[in-house]
């Protein structure tokens, strides 16, 4: 029996009621507005910024509830450390491979050859802020920054790694306290339910956020801007696709699941990431999706938030490709030793600037600042299309973290294999 206002299970859902459809339509409207009415489109930027702020507002509570309750329910604290070490090892290997692939493709394709830009004639005032931010985030400062000033300070700043550290410590403390902590665990579960409902409410605004972000991007930079750096854009998108379907696809197959089915399962979140150019916009949804697919809460809760800082495959590909593009465009020859230095610095700086707004561009600036052969002024050459490339960066980062969570869950035998296969085959994204 159905009550008033409830839809009968037999009644098909209206096509326009799907969040996926709404975001897709919003993205299309945003592109059209950006092209035909650029001034109006640029004025819609607050819609995208406001939605991203709403999502960032709820990320810290989502991570806290997920990680803390997950660790509190783990019988062996040794398992928590084991998951963390496996995740870190996976992140280092796969993200380093992304750097190498970006370097190799840039050497083969030579997207910057023939640009003949004179670094002394470039106006660096537009990228001065990024250079300053890059210098202010060394590896040591980054490691110290992981520890918040106060216990609640992590939630005030919204820094993912700080929240993750506090959540792990809180979960460990609950586990060690034993039965006396049961009231706190029940309260945490109730809080998690409320936070999940808040996420659902926020996601109703996703179409507006996607419309505002996409309209601003096209309106501000113009589709014509793509033609000037089409070679770099094409190389980067193709390389990212090669990495996703080649490397991540192989990892997925070796781990017993289909990457294509995973992409179909998280298609709504991918579209949201594309529309907002931010992988953070879908972080709470990804955690929920992976849990529903059969991955255990402790593994998902640890791997996904940590991956947002340490497993940035798309950003890594971008850094080596963009650095070599600038070198080629300014006619700077990089010997093999210079390129190996670039690779080493990029490995470190990609971790040191993690979690910073505009981290892709800032990380690139930090890398170039340490490698004297490549002029930092060359950042100006790619600034105009960086926003378009950030969409591909975000998508690749997001997919990489989804794959990592499932792989590590399988390594730990913390995934219901039958439920995972059923979920991915069904592709129930709603």
Per-residue pLDDT of 109-131, as tens digits, reads 998 888 777 777 665 555 555 55
Q: Which of 73-77, 241-245, 305-309, 350-354 has the lowest mean pLDDT?
A: 350-354
Please compute the mean of the pLDDT values over residues 30-47 and round it to a whole number. 91
Angle between helix axes 267-276 and 45-72 (nearest 10 degrees) is 140
CA distance 118 to 107: 21
User: CB count, 10 Å around CB of 88?
Assistant: 14
Judged against a pLDDT cut of 60, whether residue 5 lies above it is answered with no
CA distance 357 to 278: 10
Please compute the mean of the pLDDT values over residues 82-106 and round it to a whole number. 93
Strand partners, 295: 415
CA distance 234 to 261: 25
Q: Is the dihedral of CA 14, 16, 19, 24 positive or negative?
A: positive
Q: What domains lie within the chain, and their CATH numbers? A: 17-426 (1.10.3860.10)
> How many residues are there in the chain?
430
- Contact, 70 vs 301, CB < 8 A? yes
User: What confidence tier does 4 reach under pLDDT thresholds 50, 70, 90?
Assistant: very low
- Residues in CB range of 104: below 8 A, 6 or more apart: none
The first and second tokens of residue 42, run together, are 């640029």
pLDDT in tens, 219-231: 887 776 566 678 8
- Residue 287: closest CA among 23, 53, 63, 18: 63
């Amino acid at each position: 029996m159905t009550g008033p206002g409830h839809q009968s299970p037999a009644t098909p859902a209206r096509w326009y009621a799907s969040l996926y459809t709404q975001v897709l339509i919003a993205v299309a409207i945003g592109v059209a507005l950006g092209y035909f009415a650029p001034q109006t489109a640029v004025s819609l930027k607050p819609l995208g910024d406001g939605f991203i702020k709403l999502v960032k507002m709820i990320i810290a509570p989502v991570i806290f509830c997920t990680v803390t309750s997950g660790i509190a329910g783990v019988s062996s604290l040794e398992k928590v450390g084991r998951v963390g070490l496996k995740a870190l090892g996976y992140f280092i290997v796969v993200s380093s491979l992304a750097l190498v692939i970006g370097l190799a493709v840039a050497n083969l394709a030579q997207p910057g050859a023939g640009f003949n830009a004179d670094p002394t004639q470039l106006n660096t005032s537009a990228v001065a802020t990024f250079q300053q931010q890059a210098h202010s985030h060394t590896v040591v400062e980054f490691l110290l920054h992981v520890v918040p000033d106060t216990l609640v300070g992590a939630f005030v700043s919204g820094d993912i790694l700080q929240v993750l550290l506090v959540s792990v410590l809180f979960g460990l403390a609950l586990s060690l306290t034993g039965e006396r902590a049961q009231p706190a665990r029940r309260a945490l579960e109730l809080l998690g339910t409320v936070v999940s409902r808040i996420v659902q409410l926020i996601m109703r605004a996703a179409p507006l956020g996607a419309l505002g972000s996409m309209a601003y991007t096209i309106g501000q930079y113009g589709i014509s801007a793509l033609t000037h750096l089409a070679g770099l854009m094409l190389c980067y998108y193709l390389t990212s696709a090669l990495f996703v379907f080649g490397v991540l696809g192989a990892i997925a197959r070796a781990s017993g699941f289909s990457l294509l089915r995973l992409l179909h399962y998280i298609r709504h979140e991918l579209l949201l990431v594309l529309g907002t150019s931010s992988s953070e916009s879908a972080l709470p949804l990804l955690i929920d999706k992976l849990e529903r697919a059969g991955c255990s809460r402790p593994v998902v809760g640890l791997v996904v938030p940590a991956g947002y800082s340490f497993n940035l495959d798309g950003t890594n590909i971008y850094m080596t490709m963009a650095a070599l593009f600038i070198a080629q465009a300014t006619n700077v020859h990089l010997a093999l030793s210079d390129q190996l230095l670039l690779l080493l610095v990029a490995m470190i700086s990609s971790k040191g600037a993690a979690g910073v707004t505009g981290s892709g561009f800032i990380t690139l600036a930090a890398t170039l600042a340490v490698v004297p052969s490549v002029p930092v002024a060359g950042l100006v050459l790619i600034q105009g299309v960086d926003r378009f490339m950030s969409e591909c960066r975000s998508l690749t980062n997001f997919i990489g973290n989804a794959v990592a969570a499932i792989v590590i869950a399988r390594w730990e035998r913390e995934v219901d294999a039958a439920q995972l296969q059923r979920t991915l085959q069904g592709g129930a994204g709603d």
